[in-house]
Structure 1
Amino acid sequence: MILPQIQLNGTSLYYEKYGAGVPLVFIHDHLTSHHLFEPQVEYFRKRLQVIVLDLRGSGLSGKMNVEVNRILDTQCEDLRALLENLGIPKVILVACSSGGVLAQKFAVQHPEQVSALVLVDSGLFDHISMKNRKLWDFIETCTWISHYLPAEFFIRSLRMTYNKWLPAYHILRKELLHKRPTELIKQRIALRQIDMFAYAERLRIPVLCVAGSQNEWGLKQARRTAALFPAAQLAVLPDAMYPSHLCQPQDFNRLLLNFLMDQHLRE
């Protein structure tokens, strides 16, 4: 096991690398860190080569020291520099929520380096009509302000929401207590500038879209997203909400492993 924090592309990047074999890289969303995939690391480290990282501006990695319109490109450059440093030529990307945007952008920019995509609870970010844009902007601004409130304000409601899914609660609680509000808001603003359609339609690799049955909005978005790809499958995890891979980690891990085997991506 290697647990370094290295300097590359003008920042410090934290990552963890386990196991051997086909490289499986997990990418978290803009609200969390590499801890989002703890159950997957534990499961796949015995079967494949597993890499998790904290994106620039998240977790234990360096600050978001770039302009908003350069955030996604810079994070893609960080990932490429990390893979080059590790001597890994090609990977399978597993990304959650907004991490899926980064994964798609990276796959479009570097198609020779990505053999497949797995998008977990990752929907479209341009679904708000102009009619509802002002209301959505107001709601989102209030949400941004709430990120600066002490984490303790939200722990009780988090516990009630995830009463059925305690593993998910414990990881999300940890992320909530270590949030980086200003940098997550910058990343969210960057995501609003992205044209999701421009990425999906250009990808010809196998894609698996996953959503939980208890997340009605997320499932709807996953269906829309899957329809954009030339070669995509949609899988629904029963009795799971966001993040579905934490609500039902055993089911998700088996689903992912079967996908890799079906696509002949596992050695």
Structure 2
Amino acid sequence: MPQIQLNGTSIYYETYGTGVPVVFIHDHLTSHHLFEPQIEYFRDRVQVIVLDLRGNGLSGKMDVEVHRILDTQCEDLKELLRRLELLSVILVASSGGGVLAQKFAVQNPELVRALVLVDNCSSGNDSMKNNRIWGIIERCSWISYYLPPELLLRSLRIAYNKWLPAYHILRNELLHKRPTEGIKQRIALRQIDILAYAVKLQVPVLCVTGSQNEWRLAQASKNASMLPSAQLVVLDDAMYPSHLCQPQHFNRLLLNFLIDQHAVHQRESGL
């Protein structure tokens, strides 16, 4: 398995293809498998890099304090890019992974040429997340992280009845979840004021979300409005993760964005 030791833990990653490097970053409680349809579609068009962030998937333990999680994961990503000898990449990130991607892009502007934020959330310091009652409710919800995954499979199947490819990937992720480290990442994300990073972004940004979840749609719209050079696209008949609910539409959308960024030539795109 392609694993490297860095910053006190092991990081699992996979690479496919050649060309402009595109790095896919998953959300907490998931892994690189979240982008299986994108790996298959883009591996013959660009260089695809997927990884499991520390504390997730096949990578090693978190082994850092909560307030250091995002900084350390950014350091992991930077070191991985250095070892792969990648000088400039496009980042595609899902949900909470988008917070990491924005922070990384601001801290390392020379390494990031564009961002794609899928189902991304807005500032971690909004009034709801600072509300005491909401905080209690959220903490109670963390109990579900420790429930046997088999108890949650039926509700997952019902929720994703219209999107079976998404269900099968999320089912696998649920069966291999790492609850404690997932909660730590949730706490770390709450502590980040993403607005402080969003307003500093100077690269092109594509924001994508689905139409079937009003809360995520509102969050993605809010986040896109913060970004100096962002466009928001809403995928019909999709909810989180929208790139799995409508993989064909998302892949074509991402491909067109890569063409616009001169990462893929029209003649090489397969269109």
Cα distance between partner residues in 2 of 1:191 and 1:100? 10
CA offsets 1:98-157 (integer angstroms, 9 cap, x no match) = 000000010011000000000000011436426971221121111111101100110000
2:251 corresponds to: 253
Query: % of aligned pairs identical?
Result: 74
Which runs of 5 or more residues in structure 2 are unaligned?
A: 266-271
> In 1, distance between residues paired with 2:216 and 2:139?
21
How far apart, in 2, do the equivalents of 1:109 and 1:71 lie? 15
Distance 1:190 1:29 in 2: 13
Aligned: 1:164 with 2:155: no
Residues 41-91 of structure 1 show CA distances to partners (whole Å, capped at 9, x for unaligned) of 000001000000000000000101001110000000000010011111110
**Does residue 195 of the first structure (1) align with residue 193 of the second (2)?**
yes
Tell me if structure 2 keeps the 8 A contact 1:30–1:98: yes
Contact 1:128 1:136 (8 Å CA) reproduced: no
Match of 2:15 in 1: 17
2:63 is aligned to 65
Distance 1:131 1:83, change over 3 A: closer
The count of aligned residue pairs is 265
Aligned counterpart, 1:76: 74
- 4+ runs deviating over 6 angstroms: none
8 A Cα contact 2:125 2:192, kept in partner: no
Distance 1:131 1:185, change over 3 A: closer
Give the letter aligned to residue 210 of structure 2: G
Aligned residue identity for 1:175: E
The correspondence for 2:225, drawn from 213, 224, 227, is 227
Gaps of at least 5 residues in structure 1 are none
The within-5 A match list for 1:96-245 is 96-126=94-124, 128-129=126-127, 133-245=131-243
Deviations 1:8-36 (A, max 9, x none): 12110000000000000000011200000
Change (3 A) 1:140 1:259: same
User: Structure 2-normalised TM-score?
Assistant: 0.95
Q: Is the 8 A contact 1:124 1:221 kept in 2?
A: yes
